[in-house]
Structures are given as C-alpha cells and as structure tokens.
Amino acid sequence: MTMTVRRLTRAATAGLVAAAALTAAAHSAEAADTLGSAAAGQGRYFGTAVAANHLGEADYAATLDREFSSVTPENEMKWDATEPSRGTFSFGSADRIVDHAQSQGMDVRGHTLVWHSQLPSWVGSLGASDLRTAMNDHINGLMGHYKGEIHSWDVVNEAFQDGGSGARRSSPFQDKLGNGFIEEAFRTARAADPAAKLCYNDYNTDGVNAKSNAVYDMVKDFKSRGVPIDCVGFQSHFNSNSPVPSDYRQNLQRFADLGVDVQITELDIEGSGSAQAADYTKVVEACLAVSRCTGMTVWGVTDKYSWRSSGTPLLFDGNYSEKPAYDAVLSALGGSGDPGDPDDPGDPGDGTPSCTATYTRTADWSSGYNGQVTITAGGEPISSWTATVTLPAQQSVSALWNGTPTWSGNVMTVRPSWNGTLAAGASTGFGFTVAKNGSDAAPVIGTCTAS
C-alpha cells in the first residue's frame, strides 16, 4: 500500500523532472568548461557517486551540481539500505539523492540490485525457493519505486571470482540458485522497468583476462539467447597494484561488439600530480574511442570522502580544488575549458602554491615498519612544504630521512631538509622508521601546505 502511493508520487513528478533537465541543458551549453558539459559535447554522460549525508555541505553540493550530469548513489540503493528486513522497503536516503539529481537535471544510475555484499543477513538464511522469490521481490520493489527515473541499473554486481579461474563467486544466490540467478534477475528487471538499461557490473574486468573472458562469455550467451542485457559496467578502481590496463580500449570494444553498451562505472585512480592525470587521460580516451561507451562515473566527488581516501584517487582534492587529473579529464573530453586558467584553484598561474601528501608503508616487520610520504607540488612551483604525520599513541619514530621533524606529542611535523623546491607537478618525499610497540595501526597524514 505504502509503495503504491510512493510510486505514484515519484511518477507524478516526472513531468517536472523533464522540464528541469531541459533548463539545465540550455544552461550548460552557455557555461562550458565542466566535466558534464564537455562530456555531453561527446555524446556521453559524466557522473559521480554521491552520498546522501554530504548533500548538505555547500561546497560538496556546489561542485556536484556544477560539474556532473549523472549520479550514482554510493550506498543508498544497496540491499541493506533499501530492504533491511524482508518486505520492508526504506527509500529515504536514496530518494534524497534522486530528488537532488532531478532538481539539477542530472540522470541517475541505479546501483545495485543483486550483490553478495552489503546484503542483510536475512537474505542469506533463506532456502532456495524463498531466496528466488525474495530476489525477484527486491528487484520489483526497487525498480518499481524508481520506474522511469533510472537511466541504467546495475542488475547484478560482482558475480565472478577474482583470479584465473573464471568461475562464479560464491554468494547466497550462486550457491542456492546456481548460474541461472543472473539470467532470472535480468528477466525480472526488464519487466519491472522496460525503460532502464540493464547492466552487469564488475571489477578487475577492465582488461582482457580470465575474469573478463568469463563475463564476456556470459554476455555473448545472453545475447544469443535473447536474455535482456543492455550494458556492461567496468568499475575501474585503479592503483599501483591494479593499473589502467594497456588493453582497456580493446576490452571495452570487444564487449561493445557483442551488441551492448559499455560504461565506466566506478572510476578512481590512486596517485597524484601529473602521473595520476596521465592515467585519467588514458581512461577517458579509451571510452571516447569506443562509440558504445556511453558514459563515465567517478567514484566520488572529493578525495576526502573517497572509500580509498588515503590514495587521493579523485578529481577534486579535499578543498574541492581541481587537481591536475581534473584538467586532464576536461581536456581529454575536448572541453573548451581552461586547464591552466589562472583563476582556477590548482591551475598553473593561479599564484597559490599547493601540495598533496600521500602515504605508503614500504617495509614491514613484526616490531616495526618503514613509511614513505610522497609530496607533490600542485599547479605552481613551490619553495617549501609542510606535512604532518600523526602516529598511534604507542608508536615511536626511530629514524627519519629526507625531511626535518619537529614534535608535538604524537604529531610529527615534517619540513624539507634539502628538498623543498619543486617544479609544478613534481614530487619528492621523506621516509621514516617506526617502532610499533604493540600497535600496527597506520599513521594519519595531514593536509600538505606549501609556500
């Protein structure tokens, strides 16, 4: 009963939504130089993951509204958030995101209907026949609530195992319903909202490998048998262990050649400065080279709220300044934008020295570890930098190199020894040895300041 009313309420606003979208499109045509408008010029969307609890932060909302044309709720549409107990749906946080997006003329990606993670325990305790009913009810409940309002749904997420086997991942769905659960989920989803594109989404499938081969075989089989699938999502979470694959474009293209759209769904690339910017360029260029790559989504607005915040993997830093990666993406999208606009924070010529500090543990043994902090200058040359390292209370530093420390309690403030001067985008760093004294926790690296 409640659901019917909510469905009508959401559907009744659809006319208003369409009007808002037109206004936004007209507006962005005049005001170029954003990720969304530049991507639109290439016939693509440029989206971000959004968390409902940050929408009230003015800078967060302003950056979101200015730059992006699509949003994906980061957690709010997952099973644990939307159906915490069987048959009781809660859409409050997801509705806030969808309402916000629609008021700004942004599209919404739905994430995700059937996934082994962020799954309430009641689902795992059902027997096979009940589980099948519950899965279909869940799909119908969510897709029904947002019918006509979601451009693409991640119907099934991460159903394949990592590593070389190409096997399905163990999950309540796989273990009790077998391979057929994926097909059943897609068929249910098609009937629930025929207007939504239905995607299969996964990670470590970005290049050609055993896992992506297994997904490829599934999609090929679905297409040959008429199982409704429209798109494949490539999460694209990259870092030094999992770099942007050299055959990324070829991999996207071979999926597109099966007759599905491809989308980059959760892009983030750990790193900083010009190296990170170059990696972002590769990703955008790969998507633009594949005509069925319909859009890209980065997995968050700002480094400070990233699920991998220590890796600073996004396009805006913690102060919402555009990073070199932002300029690289805008320029790869053909934005008439202003990489190098002296008025933009972080761009060369803005007159403001800036830096970022990123941390890695470079060695580890039972009683201690070595840490390394990399300092990277922003868009201006700098003559000095300051970084803070807050150590867990038990730990103590026994050696430090390539920096000069001063101490206040367990906070170590480090300034350059010989390595203060950096060209724009260049990096240096300092290292230190820590005695664990019983605590293996990581230090917290504070904001880097430069002069």
* Residue among 378, 354, 374, 366 at smallest CA distance from 432: 374
3-state SS string for 331-393: HHCCCCCCCCCCCCCCCCCCCCCCEEEEEEEEEEECCEEEEEEEEEECCCCECCEEEEEECCC
Q: Rule CB under 6 A: is residue 360 a binding residue for ligand XIL?
A: no
* Structure-token pair, residue 372: 């390394």
Does the active-site annotation cover 158?
yes
Q: Rule CB under 6 A: is residue 242 a binding residue for ligand XIL?
A: no
Footprint of ligand XIL on 117-156 (CB under 6 A): none
Whichever of 239 and 402 has its CB closer to ligand XIL, that residue is 239
Whichever of 235 and 388 has its CB closer to ligand XIL, that residue is 235
Q: Rule CB under 6 A: is residue 209 a binding residue for ligand XIL?
A: no
Does the active-site annotation cover 183?
no
Q: Rule CB under 6 A: is residue 270 a binding residue for ligand XIL?
A: no
Footprint of ligand XIL on 217-236 (CB under 6 A): 235
CA dist 348 and 339 (Å) reads 8
Q: What Å distances lie between residue 164 and 7, 211, 223, 246, 371, CA to CA? A: 44, 7, 24, 19, 32
* Structure-token pair, residue 422: 């950096």
Report in angstroms how near the CB of residue 298 gets to ligand XIL at its nearest: 12
Site residue total, ligand XIL (CB under 6 A): 6
The single residue among 307, 372, 390, 433 that binds ligand XIL, judged by CB under 6 A, is 307
Sign of CA dihedral 327, 333, 338, 340: positive
Whichever of 266 and 303 has its CB closer to ligand XIL, that residue is 266
Report in angstroms how near the CB of residue 115 gets to ligand XIL at its nearest: 7
Place of tokens 């491809």: 262
Q: Rule CB under 6 A: is residue 310 a binding residue for ligand XIL?
A: no
Q: Rule CB under 6 A: is residue 82 a binding residue for ligand XIL?
A: no
335, 38 Cβ separation under 8 angstroms: yes
* DSSP at 242: B
Cα angle 19, 107, 261; round to 5? 130
Whichever of 28 and 297 has its CB closer to ligand XIL, that residue is 297
Q: Rule CB under 6 A: is residue 93 a binding residue for ligand XIL?
A: no
Q: Rule CB under 6 A: is residue 74 a binding residue for ligand XIL?
A: yes
The neighbouring-strand residues paired with 429 are 374
Q: Rule CB under 6 A: is residue 157 a binding residue for ligand XIL?
A: yes
CA dist 251 and 156 (Å) reads 20
The single residue among 75, 239, 360, 447 that binds ligand XIL, judged by CB under 6 A, is 75
- Choose, from 67, 76, 83, 266, the residue flagged as catalytic: 266
How many CB atoms neighbour CB 264 within 10 A? Answer: 25
Whichever of 200 and 359 has its CB closer to ligand XIL, that residue is 200
The single residue among 266, 268, 270, 350 that binds ligand XIL, judged by CB under 6 A, is 266
Report in angstroms how near the CB of residue 157 gets to ligand XIL at its nearest: 5
Which residues of the chain form contacts with ligand XIL (CB under 6 A)? 74-75, 157, 235, 266, 307
Catalytic residue annotation? 158, 266
